[in-house]
Chains A and B, each alone.
Chain A
């Protein structure tokens, strides 16, 4: 079975450019999560969706970041304009549904390694 699919795997771009990261969750999973991982701050939740609706975006660092989930099989995380401090590995994860009735583990993609020069 296909896991969570992220693209691109690597992205190098100059500051000021728009960056779009993509995610395809596992089929049938109703919750989707975007995380950022850095050496300094570890793994941080940016935003998560349930049934395509954003539930908690309190982790989104600032207005330069936006996320959408137009349908159950696709989500994007956009940074505009990008800055060097946005350099990190961005992970997407999905799970079957809302806790506690469906307390299931999140399954992660392989991540997008983003470098802003």
Chain B
């Protein structure tokens, strides 16, 4: 079974709609990183969360780490075609190394 599960696997929304992507871990999250990837390109860092209950925002994207530190959500408000891509969560589940495990990703498509 996957140590880090993302849902949904894919999402198709109309421009202007809100959406949420979830990342659930079977272990405690000591650090949770959200990345975005476009086809043929590398991963672009979006946000990092470390403390339970922490919430960060960048433009129209908000990420939260729940109090129990085993789940994170990424929320996009008023989606735009520029938000399209693959969103990946990466997690530090050990707390004492640089090693991250990654979820399988959520493919987002935004149509006009």
Contact = CB atoms under 8 A, between A and B. Distances in A.
Contacts of B35: 108
A95 B98 contact: yes
B97 A99 contact: yes
Given A42-B103, A98-B97, A109 B92 contact: no
Contacts, number: 65
B100 interface: yes
A105 to B, nearest CB: 5
A99 B96 contact: yes
Contact of A105 (B45, B95, B97, B99): B45
Q: Which of B43, B50, B96 has the most CB of A within 10 A?
A: B43
Q: Which of B31, B42, B92 has the most CB of A within 10 A?
A: B42
Nearest to B41: A110
Given A55-B98, A108-B44, 8 more contacts: A4-B42, A42-B103, A43-B88, A97-B98, A99-B98, A100-B30, A105-B48, A107-B45
A113 to B, nearest CB: 8
Interface of A: 4, 31, 33, 42-45, 48, 50, 55-56, 91, 93, 95, 97-100, 103, 105-111, 113
Contacts of B88: 43
Given A99-B92, A103-B92, A105-B33, A45 B45 contact: no
Interface of B: 30-31, 33, 35, 40-45, 48, 50, 88, 90, 92, 95-105
Nearest to A9: B40
Nearest to A95: B98
Given A45-B99, A55-B98, A56-B99, A103 B42 contact: no
A39 to B, nearest CB: 10
Contacts of B42: 4, 91, 108-111
B100 A106 contact: yes
A50 B45 contact: no
A86 B101 CA distance: 20
Nearest to A111: B42
B63 to A, nearest CB: 13
B45 A56 contact: no
Contacts of B99: 45, 48, 56
